[in-house]
Structure formats: C-alpha cells, structure tokens
Amino acid sequence: MGKVAISADSVSLTPEKAREYGFTMIPLPIIMGGKQYLDTEINMDELYARLDTKENLPKTSTANVEEFLRFFAELSQKAEAIFHICMSSVFSPQYNNALKAKELAGEKLPGTRIEVADSRTIGIGVHFLFYYDKGGRVFEARTWAEAESASSFRSIVEVDASTGGTVKPVARAKTVAQIMDKLVEITKERANGNKLCAVIGHTRVPDRAEKLNGKGLIDYTFSTRA
C-alpha cells in the first residue's frame, strides 16, 4: 500500500498523462444526444466536432457526493492518504461535493486522511469560451464569449489563483495566427527578461501546438514542451 494517492477531476489530464504521472482520475458525466456518458468513455472527436459547429451542444455534470465517497473508498484500499485536486469551484460544484464526501469519509474511512484542494483553474485552458458562457460561468469575459459565439473571434483568457478561479479576458483576435502572435507577445512581456518554464496544451491540434512552440518561445523560456 502506498502512502499517498493523488487524484483529480478528469478535466485535468488526459488518460495517458494520468497513467504516466500516477494520478487517478474521477470521471465526469456528459449528456450528448440525449444519453449520458462518462467523459472517460465518450468519443472526444465527436464531442469537439459538436462544439465546433456550436449546435446540439453537450451538457456537463459533476460527480455527486456518493460517487466521490465510493471513489475515495477505492483509493483507500491502495493508499494511507488521499490528495484530490478539483477544478475551480467557481465553475463547478465538484469541489463542494468532494468536501462533503471528505466529511462523510471521516466516519466511513477513519483510517484514511483525505485532503481536497480547489485548483482555481479548469485544466490547461478554456477551449471554447462561448460554451462556458452557456452556463453563465465566464462573468468578466461574457461580451467576448458572445462575440465568439456569433463570429470567428477567439480569445486568450486566464483562469487561475490570480483571477480567483474566474475567467479573466486578456486578448483576442480573428485568426489562429494572430492568436499565436499575441500569446508570444504576452509571454515575452510577462517574462520581463527572466527565464520561464512553459507548457503548451492543445485540444487535438498538435500541429498548431508545435507551430506555437517554434515561434521563438525558446528565447525566453528555459523549458518549453508542447
């Protein structure tokens, strides 16, 4: 039995990366075409194709308290303690459900210490701003989300501890090339002459990630991985 099991919501990592790093992921429900699936078993190409068309959009849900409790019970068979990382509590009740399950686990799993953290983010980035706006979850960036829904605009936003876990608009453009150039400009400005460690995430567009990686980021980052 290991000492600590690290787990997270399934939006955090791909299944391949979760296995590589030894994370255990709790899957989230997605309703698509009138049927409910777990995001770990759904055809992601079909999901993103629907988002691209902006029609017949899928709906997302969360793991409930009972599901979290079962998840923690399974992990307790493999580790003495559990550290679970949730997506931003601003976007989802997932964090609160995990906390409630932790309280119940105090009685049902007395030998297992459980800690739950609010990551204040939603993974590597907000891929479809207009989609998050459907749930009223973009707040300050709402006008940008509306523009994205009605046009080809794409946005650069921040979602992390510095924004309180909410979406903060940074820049926007009409083309992929313009967005990439703006990302490089912003990175250079924020680096302020210092070396940074950069990770480039993408949603099924590895060619664009590699192209961005080749746009001079190496000049002001000591480690860049696409």
Question: 2: buried, middle or exposed (CB in 10 Å: 19+, 13-18, 0-12)?
Answer: exposed
Sheet harboring 24-26: ordered strands across? 24-26, 2-9, 79-86, 113-118
b/e map 22-36, b = 16+ CB within 10 Å: ebbbbbbbbebeeee
Q: Do both 131 and 204 map to the same domain? A: no
In 3D, which of 124, 178, 189 has the Cα closest to residue 154? 178
In 3D, which of 33, 109, 117 has the Cα closest to residue 70? 109
Q: Do both 130 and 160 map to the same domain? A: yes
Q: Say if residues 56 and 50 touch (Cβ distance below 8 Å).
A: yes
Q: Do both 166 and 184 map to the same domain? A: no
Q: Tell me if 203 is assigned to some domain.
A: yes
Q: CA–CA distance from 217 to each of 110, 181, 203, 205, 210 (Å)?
A: 49, 11, 20, 18, 11
Q: Say if residues 29 and 36 touch (Cβ distance below 8 Å).
A: yes
pLDDT per residue over 159-179, tens digit each?
566 666 666 777 777 787 887
| H or E element that contains 224 | strand 221-225
pLDDT per residue over 74-125, tens digit each?
999 999 999 999 988 887 899 999 999 999 999 999 999 999 999 887 765 4
Per-residue tokens: 180: 């990439």
Q: Do both 112 and 132 map to the same domain? A: no
Domain assignment of residue 23, given as a range:
2-28+63-118
pLDDT per residue over 182-208, tens digit each?
888 888 888 887 877 777 777 777 888
Amino acid letter, 1: M
Q: Do both 142 and 107 map to the same domain? A: no
pLDDT at 99: 97
Q: What is the CATH number of the domain that holds 112?
A: 3.40.50.10440
Q: Do both 9 and 112 map to the same domain? A: yes
pLDDT per residue over 26-72, tens digit each?
998 888 778 888 887 877 777 777 766 666 777 778 899 999 999 99
Contacts of residue 57, Cβ cutoff 8 Å, sequence gap at least 6: 50, 51, 131, 134
Work out how many domains the chain is built from and give that number.
3
Q: Tell me if 48 is assigned to some domain.
A: no
Q: Tell me if 185 is assigned to some domain.
A: yes
Q: Tell me if 37 is assigned to some domain.
A: no
Parallel/antiparallel/unpaired status of strands 221-225 and 196-199: parallel
Q: Tell me if 213 is assigned to some domain.
A: yes
Residue carrying the six token digits 């070396």: 195
Task: Give this prediction's pTM.
Answer: 0.73
